Amino acid sequence: MATRGQVITCKAAVAWEPNKPLVIEDVQVAPPQAGEVRIQILYSALCHTDAYTWSGKDPEGLFPCILGHEAAGIVESVGEGVTEVQPGDHVIPCYQAECRECKFCKSGKTNLCGKVRSATGAGVMMADRKSRFSVNGKSIYHFMGTSTFSQYTVVHDVSVAKIDPKAPLDKVCLLGCGVPTGLGAVWNTAKVESGSIVAVFGLGTVGLAVAEGAKAAGASRIIGIDIDSKKFDRAKDFGVTEFVNPKDHDKPIQQVLVDQTDGGVDYSFECIGNVSVMRAALECCHKGWGTSVIVGVAASGQEVCTRPFQLVTGRVWKGTAFGGFKSRSQVPWLVEKYMKKEIKVDEYITHNLTLAEINKAFDLMHEGGCLRCVLNMHA
């Protein structure tokens, strides 16, 4: 390829400062070093976590940076020693790496991987602790090891899932974050059994994917909780069987749910990032066995609390990152499930815009009607 080994200048949305509009810049993207992969990003969706870091509330947020972590593209070139992907491969960048060698990967107990986490948290690449992005010589930080709001990005080889080239990249880009997170929270983290009563707090993409996963797992009731009643009609298509708006009740929402479910739900999922709701989600669980899974990402300085008695009496509090899925191994499997129409993806896409329209896409995210907005990165 003509660009192999060369610096590529391309368009990217740069977050120069928290909360200031992203700026489409000509960005220089350095060639991949050993163990790295340069990807042409074709489609990138926006996730609530991008907005969270952009807002300045993420303790790991670094500026200037290139956000974005839910995307799909084609490998442009690879660095020395990269064997599992080659130029032309269709891939999904994975913010949760999978090296298959570290203590975490070998534990059999978690999907977290320790190999590159310190570098991705510091916005740099492992090899030299430097960024591959710059604008007129000024270094720009990476984000979550993916930085997909750029036409080209560089990621670690342990952070790339090779997928079926027949899969439509404008759709399967969603399998980089929100949909797997919700499905996996149910299937891997909670392990919901058939007949269970499930409560889902927050009916955005992640909450709807929880509902979809719970329906597939055979849940008998799936109660959707959201402060926006307009969410319910759409939620029914994803498996939600009942809807509760906390604003319609004087009692705390946990009490409302306990009353409606003969003592509490079997499983609850917090898909908002609000620590008060996290508490409610735990406390609406059934005494003795109810399990609550935290999926939402809360702002710096926020802490969860409850009476320890809630746990003493058998409720279990858990959290999940990327739904517990092993990224490189299982993202291709999720793509296959989509191709066989076993999981929804298209249904989560409510808007399609271009990279140049990225600020409008973030505005849409804060409106109730938007689930996922997919950006065409080269239109």
Total residues at interface with Zn ion (CB under 5 A) = 8
Q: Does the annotation mark 284 as catalytic?
A: no
Q: Are 175 and 130 in contact (CB under 8 A)?
A: no
Q: Are 154 and 5 in contact (CB under 8 A)?
A: no
Q: Is 356 in the site for Zn ion (CB under 5 A)?
A: no
24, 51, 74, 99: residue in contact with Zn ion (rule CB under 5 A): 99
Q: Does the annotation mark 271 as catalytic?
A: no
Choose among Zn ion, ligand NAD, ligand AHE, none what residue 231 binds, the Cβ cut-off being 5 to 8 Å by kind: ligand NAD
The helix/strand/coil state of 36 is: strand
> What residues contact 278, with CB distance under 8 A and at least 6 apart?
270, 292, 294, 296, 298, 304
Choose among ligand AHE, ligand NAD, Zn ion, none what residue 113 binds, the Cβ cut-off being 5 to 8 Å by kind: Zn ion
- Among 299, 319, 333, 307, smallest CA distance to 48 is for 299
Q: Does the annotation mark 117 as catalytic?
A: yes
- Among 351, 357, 358, smallest CA distance to 373 is for 351
Tell me whether residue 215 or residue 378 sits nearer to ligand NAD (CB atom): 215
Q: Is 105 in the site for Zn ion (CB under 5 A)?
A: yes
Q: Does the annotation mark 70 as catalytic?
A: yes
Angle, in degrees to the nearest 10, between helices 253-260 and 275-283 = 30
Pairing label, strands 197-201, 221-225: parallel
Q: CB under 6 A: which stretch of 20-28, 42-50, 72-80, 109-117 binds ligand NAD?
A: 42-50
Where do the DSSP E strands lie in 46-116? 70-78, 90-93
Choose among ligand NAD, Zn ion, ligand AHE, none what residue 248 binds, the Cβ cut-off being 5 to 8 Å by kind: none
As measured in angstroms, the least distance from the Cβ of 140 to ligand AHE is 18
Q: Does the annotation mark 99 as catalytic?
A: yes
In whole angstroms, give the CA distance from residue 279 to residue 294. 10
Active-site residue (options: 9, 117, 234, 378): 117
Tell me whether residue 15 or residue 47 sits nearer to ligand AHE (CB atom): 47
Q: Does the annotation mark 372 as catalytic?
A: yes
Q: Are 223 and 242 in contact (CB under 8 A)?
A: yes
As measured in angstroms, the least distance from the Cβ of 270 to ligand NAD is 8
Q: Is 209 in the site for Zn ion (CB under 5 A)?
A: no
Choose among ligand NAD, ligand AHE, Zn ion, none what residue 59 binds, the Cβ cut-off being 5 to 8 Å by kind: ligand AHE
Q: Is 274 in the site for ligand NAD (CB under 6 A)?
A: yes
Compute the chain's Rg from CA coordinates. Answer: 20
DSSP 189: I
Q: Does the annotation mark 48 as catalytic?
A: yes
As measured in angstroms, the least distance from the Cβ of 329 to ligand AHE is 16
Burial of 193 (0-12, 13-18, 19+ CB in 10 A): exposed
111, 131, 150, 181: residue in contact with ligand NAD (rule CB under 6 A): 181
Tell me whether residue 196 or residue 238 sits nearer to Zn ion (CB atom): 238
Q: Is 66 in the site for Zn ion (CB under 5 A)?
A: no
Q: How far is CA 116 from the centre of its chain?
A: 18
Tell which positions 43-62 bind ligand NAD, by CB under 6 A: 47-49, 52
Q: Is the peptide bond before 168 cis (omega within 30 degrees of 0)?
A: no
| Residues near ligand AHE (CB under 6 A) | 47, 49, 58-60, 96, 112, 117, 177, 297, 321-322
Tell me whether residue 29 or residue 177 sits nearer to ligand NAD (CB atom): 177
Write the Ramachandran bin of 78: left for phi over 0, alpha for psi from -120 to 50, otherwise beta. beta
Tell me whether residue 47 or residue 335 sits nearer to ligand AHE (CB atom): 47
3-state secondary structure 142-169: CCCCCCCCECEEEEEHHHEEECCCCCCH
Catalytic residue list: 47-49, 69-70, 99, 102, 105, 113, 117, 177, 372
Q: Which residues of this chain interact with ligand NAD, rule CB under 6 A?
A: 47-49, 52, 177-178, 181, 201-207, 225-228, 231, 246, 271-274, 277, 295-297, 320-322
